[in-house]
Amino acid sequence: MALRSAISAPRYLALRSLSRRGEGGRLGRPAGRRDIHPDPGSRIHPSIHPNTGLTIELFDIRADERILRGSCCARALVGRFTLDANSELKVTLNPAPQGSVAEINLEATNTSGSLILHWGALRPDRGEWLLPSRKPDGTTVYKNRALRTPFIKSGDNSTLKIEIDDPAVQAIEFLIFDEARNNWYKNNGQNFQIQLQASQYQGQGTSTATSSTVVPEDLEEYEAARTELIEELNKGVSLEKLRAKLTKTPEATDSNAPASESTVTTKVPEELVQVQAYIRWEKAGKPNYTPEKQLVEFEEARKELQSELDKGTSVEQLRNKILKGNIETKVSKQLKDKKYFSVERIQRKKRDIVQLLKKHKPTVMEAQVETPKQPTVLDLFTKSLQEQDNCEVLSRKLFKLGDKEILGITTVALGKTKVHLATNYMEPLILHWALSKENGEWQAPPSSILPSGSSLLDKACETSFSEYELNGLHCQVVEIELDDGGYKRMPFVFRSGETWMKNNGSDFYLDFSTKDTGDAGKGTAKALLERIADLEEDAQRSLMHRFNIAADLVDQARDNGLLGIIGIFVWIRFMATRQLIWNKNYNVKPREISKAQDRFTDDLENMYRTYPQYREILRMIMSAVGRGGEGDVGQRIRDEILVIQRNNDCKGGMMEEWHQKLHNNTSPDDVVICQALLDYIKSDFDIGVYWDTLKKDGITKERLLSYDRPIHSEPNFRSEQKDGLLRDLGNYMRSLKAVHSGADLESAIATCMGYKSEGEGFMVGVQINPVKGLPSGFPKLLEFVLDHVEDKSAEPLLEGLLEARAELHPLLLGSPERMKDLIFLDIALDSTFRTAVERSYEELNNVEPEKIMYFINLVLENLALSTDDNEDILYCLKGWNQALEMAKQKNNQWALYAKAFLDRTRLALASKGEQYYNLMQPSAEYLGSLLNIDQWAVNIFTEEIIRGGSAATLSALLNRIDPVLRNVAQLGSPVEVSGYIVVVDELLAVQNKSYDKPTILVAKSVKGEEEIPDGVVGVITPDMPDVLSHVSVRARNCKVLFATCFDPNTLSELQGHDGKVFSFKPTSADITYREIPESELQSGSLNAEAGQAVPSVSLVKKKFLGKYAISAEEFSEEMVGAKSRNVAYLKGKVPSWVGVPTSVAIPFGTFEKVLSDEINKEVAQTIQMLKGKLAQDDFSALGKIRKTVLNLTAPTQLIKELKEKMLGSGMPWPGDEGDQRWEQAWMAIKKVWASKWNERAYFSTRKVKLDHDYLSMAVLVQEIVNADYAFVIHTTNPSSGDSSEIYAEVVKGLGETLVGAYPGRAMSFVCKKDDLDSPKVLGFPSKPIGLFIKRSIIFRSDSNGEDLEGYAGAGLYDSVPMDEEDEVILDYTTDPLITDQGFQKSILSSIARAGHAIEELYGSPQDVEGAVKEGKLYVVQTRPQMGKAREDYYQVLGVTVNSTPQEIKEAYQEASRNDTIS
């Protein structure tokens, strides 16, 4: 392109000639040659430097005018005005090239810090001021007629920059107002005016701006001069030096050149571009950019820096601005081996996960029996009500009234509800009361129920107490009889004379909607909680008082065991969640609060060292309390707020009110307030942001006003205060968190790593030494964590946090110095981890399953590190690790395997939640009632604890991957149903009901042993019974949908649809549901078979045939049930590789014979009486009968005969090991008999109208096979009805976990009968518990009510081992049945072969139970397989359920010969 001269040719010739002839080769003016000045109006032409792309222009050489500049920085001094004797105003202008922005810079010298520009813009077509849309920060609109913009204080001067982007604006007009002096500055009585057009640069004041004239150009001389300057630049001469040569001014003074001089645009150094690109990448959260995006980012960084240079910032200033800390090291490290930025990752150490194992199970101490106390008058009053005829006490609540008590009792008698209030306060007392249907409501009671002498007010009533005497003791009472007005509460307060009495500042209330029969405080450290309630009024004086009281209570809590520690936790948690008053009319210094905190947390630390079983709860307490600290730690809060006010000139308004609050009584609220201020400042003073931050953390305007030193005002800072306040409040936040926050990462790391005085006025004189004995490399690990804590991609941070926790773990198991600091560090790492995972949910929206599985691994590891009893969690973690490896290796069973561990993990979380609820909720409810805590806060207490932990985070991840696994593994349910939703707590509670319309039960609990009620077409539950559990079998046989709902939100939604009609339709990966009209239900969408009642059946009553015990050879239909007969039939007929245990039996009628014995006369009478109650539908009699049966005494003849038969069959006799062993065996026998009256069995017989008295119970006695595995086989697949396919389930250990109500699912597989060497696994095990036992005897139920036509009684009654089993938490990752494909195939094939052989033996589908010990199979029982498959099969064979095995086998052989069956 053509290059044009920047100055007139004669002027340029002078420069060029001097460059050759001048002394020392300097550019300058030739001797004897006059200065040639351009004429006014001369044009200015740019020249482009070929290497840098910089545009260079030369202007008239005068100290107060432009010399060299970049074309984008054409700043000119356009006005200089005198303000007063000491101050002047300079105005420079960068005019706007076509389509760009004009920039006006104002600088007032020697001014106060409170100048305001009152201004507007002028356009030719408008007479009044125009208000530009582009305004500087801090600008406000004045009466819609002008703008007001504050100047920024800079040293002794004040500056302001205005940008105008409207090309129609011709000028700006303004006045200047000095707020501090209440003085207006004008231009000789007129407005100041600055013209923006290039031809009108003259300001209307004393301006030094000049104009130019055109001079003819000499192109040859221009090119030569231009070349000389370019050569100088190419040699590395800076623009500043070049300017100095041209102007004959010293280089050192160049930076102080007048504002009218312009600078030349220079190239941004590449290393600064790299740093700026890194800063941009950090601010974006260190995302994983593509290489193309990285290049774009580098160019954007270059533009940002170039813009700074174009505005006049020097390279050195730019360098000083962005090169903070060790950022250059970070950048060079990032770009050492690559040309882009990527997130660093730590190298995690390889550890055996089991090293994290902790087995400190929470145990609850037996409640200490309290020494009986002399009954008080209120005790006697309660007793007097309870002893009244037909009077039932619905609730009883005790309140404190100073050192006296108020007792509130609600009773119902003869259909009438009464409220009784009694007190030992004997001064004249008036009850001020009302009734309410909603919380917080006061309604005046109807006049018809007012006690005598009452006064009815607007929204309340007043009733005087009357004196009452009991056994010589005096009290005062009020009695109110309620009508049926649907009231839920009775709020009340008291008045004695002019003194009003409240419940810790709130209303008293009695709740009619809950029933409390006097068990209040059960399952808690009751005495401790009552002591806390007594001390609460004193604790409310200040946090210092509360923490000192807590420290005083630590010993009592420890003596009460786990429930005592939980009692302290519940109290502190109520405090931390602002349910209790923090300060009431008491001034306390921050250092006194922190000292009290320190004392309390020291006590907790000592307990942490000594009682590892309490560590999980102790961590929760410490997290809620904060660290505290002696001496200056708390005092800094008081001192440093003064530093902030002084440094930043903010001594009034909100800051002064906060200062007073901090001096009076600092609290954890101050951390929130400080964060709100920081967010407000960062948002450029958006007051909405301030309130949003406060509200998010539970601080309202009302709470701010409730402090002893209330905060009335909102913050109101000036823009020039921004940087200083951000710096100082950021430092102050460290002091606040050091005292109040137990989970703040930065302060926790600083305390452990050591820090000292930083920042003027902050942390002065403070020096914390590093904790000794930390692992090698630990400081760098924590530095990594801090560097990445805001990263957008959370994965590297999570790895770093976990590595830090894993490194801390061995120290926390020991007893290091400064244990407390390490505990707080671990709490902070844990808290940061949970926050980072929650932040990463969006990142996981569209990722591969392997990524979610990896996150699940991380969260499980974090949960294990925070849990005292973590064995089950660790084995879940090992399973997920293995599943992830299988997925990476493309193993076709990875999804099935992962689904099993997903189910197990959910069980572990549910178990943990249930444990928390059982341990914490009773204390929350009792202490909540004593302290008058809002009921909603009590109700959600445990739920909120769980939500705040890793368990909730883990549950969310499991919900994300569950449908993926179900889809890949092709899991689903075949039944579609419609019906009315009915919500129940337990399936067990409604199993005896009959529903008259199609019903879908949403049951919170299903154990697996329940009946399906009549009329039920579907059961939705969060529980997961086995496929072969009783309830699952019943569901399949009756075509009832049985579905597990893992998502608590979905379950809650369904519960909200109680009574509505819904349709549930299974898919391959899930179940969809929708609400439907009743008409659609009535039109036939209901499965006709589902939920139909079972027809009635009959039993033949069995008699005692004279023998207490018989051998297997004596088994007959009159003596024992099908279970015993089938075992005897198997002996010698199954293949030799299948073992059958030796058996004897206690025959039918033996129980009745023993019960009729004279030695059991009282037991018999009691049972007869309880049966009478049962006949009247008093189902509580069932449990009482079971308990009574256990009191039976064994006749001598029974013992003699049983011993003979057992020894004769080669079985050990328990009595040979001592009388105690026989007693164990006898108790097991009685438990089998007693199971005749378990709820499930009883209601099952009622449903089919079976006479329960006709049910007889024989007992099959076998030696236990101490199994490695136990199995159940169905020789016809019960799910599909496919008779060519065997279905089986296998568990580790004894079979009780398979047939009993143990959570989780067994390993399941199918096998084609024509290919028994090819078993196919359908599901891996998720049962967390295995049962194991030493050599022992088991007593199995064998009733005459099993395997009847139309009724399946099998599995209803108990089988009881003589010895208690050992529960072992299972690790499937080391189980060869799971990990060894060869072993797995061998065992599963053998099980399938055994089932097939037994089916062949009987000639019908069989339900077989057995065990595997050291590779050998044992069959312990078999029976005909129940359900429609058996019914259809028998129909084909032409036999019935009453046919003998031999008859069935012969029919089977005949059908096979005739090809009737395949």
What is the chain's mean pLDDT, rounded?
Answer: 80
Can you tell me the distance from the alpha carbon of 1041 to that of 1016, in angstroms, rounded to the nearest whole number? 9
Kindly give, in sequence order, each residue whose CB lies less than 8 Å from that of residue 101, ignoring residues fewer than 6 positions away.
134, 163, 164, 165
Which among 1236, 1159, 1241 has a CA at the least distance from the CA of 1192?
A: 1159
Work out the average pLDDT over 899-928: 91
Work out the average pLDDT over 541-546: 90
Can you tell me the distance from the alpha carbon of 172 to that of 260, in angstroms, rounded to the nearest whole number? 19
Work out the average pLDDT over 97-107: 81
- Of these ranges, 2-11, 372-381, 601-610, 1052-1061, the one predicted with the greatest mean pLDDT is 601-610
Torsion over CA: 917, 920, 925, 931 (sign):
negative
pLDDT of 1028 reads 61
Phi, psi of 178 (to 5 degrees): -95, 105
pLDDT of 1144 reads 95
The answer to whether the beta carbons of residues 1320 and 1309 sit under 8 Å apart is yes
Give pLDDT tens digits for 351-392: 888 888 887 766 666 555 455 668 888 888 988 887 887 778
Give pLDDT tens digits for 854-905: 999 999 999 999 998 899 999 999 999 999 999 999 999 999 999 999 999 9
pLDDT bracket for residue 1435 (50, 70, 90): low
The answer to whether the beta carbons of residues 1143 and 1124 sit under 8 Å apart is yes
Which of 332 and 73 is assigned the larger pLDDT? Answer: 332
Work out the average pLDDT over 84-108: 83
Judged against a pLDDT cut of 70, whether residue 1408 lies above it is answered with: yes
Torsion (CA) 1346, 1347, 1348, 1350 in degrees, nearest 10:
120
Kindly report which listed range (125-129, 189-193, 452-456) carries the lowest average pLDDT score. Answer: 125-129
pLDDT bracket for residue 745 (50, 70, 90): confident
Which among 92, 145, 153 has a CA at the least distance from the CA of 119?
A: 145
Residue spans of beta strands (DSSP E) within 1197-1345: 1257-1263, 1269-1274, 1285-1292, 1307-1312, 1320-1323, 1329-1332, 1337-1343
What's the half-sphere exposure (Cβ side, CA atoms, 13 Å) at 557? 28
Work out the average pLDDT over 1335-1341: 91
Kindly report which listed range (133-137, 1038-1042, 1270-1274) carries the lowest average pLDDT score. Answer: 1038-1042
pLDDT of 782 reads 92
pLDDT of 340 reads 63
At 1055, list the tokens: 């519960």
Which of 67 and 972 is assigned the larger pLDDT? Answer: 972
Work out the average pLDDT over 1250-1254: 81
Torsion (CA) 837, 842, 843, 849 in degrees, nearest 10:
90
Judged against a pLDDT cut of 60, whether residue 947 lies above it is answered with: yes
Which of 996 and 59 is assigned the larger pLDDT? Answer: 996
Judged against a pLDDT cut of 60, whether residue 1462 lies above it is answered with: no
Kindly report which listed range (395-399, 849-853, 1205-1209) carries the lowest average pLDDT score. Answer: 395-399
Residue recorded with tokens 């452990």: 752
Kindly give, in sequence order, each residue whose CB lies less than 8 Å from that of residue 648, ignoring residues fewer than 6 positions away.
717, 721, 724, 725, 728
Judged against a pLDDT cut of 80, whether residue 265 lies above it is answered with: no
pLDDT of 860 reads 95
Give pLDDT tens digits for 792-814: 788 899 999 999 999 999 999 88
Kindly give, in sequence order, each residue whose CB lies less than 8 Å from that of residue 549, ignoring residues fewer than 6 positions away.
535, 538, 539
At 918, list the tokens: 């059982």
Can you tell me the distance from the alpha carbon of 1003 to that of 1011, in angstroms, rounded to the nearest whole number? 13
The alpha carbon of residue 944 and the mean position of all alpha carbons in its chain are separated, in whole angstroms, by 9
Work out the average pLDDT over 303-319: 82
**Rg for the chain (alpha carbons), in Å?**
44
Residue recorded with tokens 């700043």: 75
pTM, two decimal places: 0.68
Judged against a pLDDT cut of 50, whether residue 971 lies above it is answered with: yes
Give pLDDT tens digits for 1022-1076: 887 766 666 776 776 677 888 887 777 788 888 889 999 998 887 655 678 888 8
Can you tell me the distance from the alpha carbon of 44 to that of 61, in angstroms, rounded to the nearest whole number? 14
Per-state percent for the chain, helix, strand, coil, to nearest 5? 45, 20, 40
Instruction: Choose, from 432, 659, 788, 1030, the residue flagged as catalytic.
Output: 1030
pLDDT bracket for residue 1376 (50, 70, 90): very high
Judged against a pLDDT cut of 60, whether residue 1261 lies above it is answered with: yes
pLDDT of 98 reads 60
Phi, psi of 503 (to 5 degrees): -95, 90
Which of 1080 and 351 is assigned the larger pLDDT? Answer: 351
Bridge partners of 873, per DSSP, are none
Rounded to a whole number of angstroms, the distance between the first and last alpha carbons of the chain is 95
pLDDT of 1339 reads 94
Judge whether 1030 counts as a catalytic residue. yes
What's the half-sphere exposure (Cβ side, CA atoms, 13 Å) at 1059? 1
pLDDT of 1456 reads 56
Considering the chain, what percentage of its residues have pLDDT values greater than 70?
81
pLDDT of 273 reads 84
Phi, psi of 1193 (to 5 degrees): -110, 140
Can you tell me the distance from the alpha carbon of 18 to that of 1450, in angstroms, rounded to the nearest whole number? 129
pLDDT of 574 reads 93
pLDDT bracket for residue 203 (50, 70, 90): very low
pLDDT of 871 reads 93
Give pLDDT tens digits for 146-182: 999 998 888 888 899 999 888 888 889 999 988 877 7
Bridge partners of 121, per DSSP, are 130, 172
Sheet containing strand 76-82, strands side by side: 76-82, 88-94, 102-108, 157-164, 152-154
Identity at 211, one-letter amino acid code: S
DSSP string, 925-953: HHHHHHHT--HHHHHTHHHHHHHTSHHHH
- Burial of residue 1339 (number of CB atoms within 10 Å: 0-12, 13-18, 19+): buried
Give pLDDT tens digits for 12-32: 333 333 333 333 333 333 333
Work out the average pLDDT over 84-113: 82
Judged against a pLDDT cut of 50, whether residue 34 lies above it is answered with: no
pLDDT of 240 reads 59
Nearest 5°: CA angle at 1262, between 1258 and 1264? 135
pLDDT of 631 reads 47
At 895, list the tokens: 């999804």
The DSSP secondary-structure symbol of 742 reads S
The answer to whether the beta carbons of residues 1260 and 1123 sit under 8 Å apart is yes
Residue recorded with tokens 């490194």: 807
What's the half-sphere exposure (Cβ side, CA atoms, 13 Å) at 91? 29
Which of 755 and 305 is assigned the larger pLDDT? Answer: 305
Considering the chain, what percentage of its residues have pLDDT values greater than 90?
35
pLDDT of 467 reads 93
Judged against a pLDDT cut of 70, whether residue 251 lies above it is answered with: no
Kindly report which listed range (271-285, 511-525, 673-687, 856-870) carries the lowest average pLDDT score. Answer: 511-525
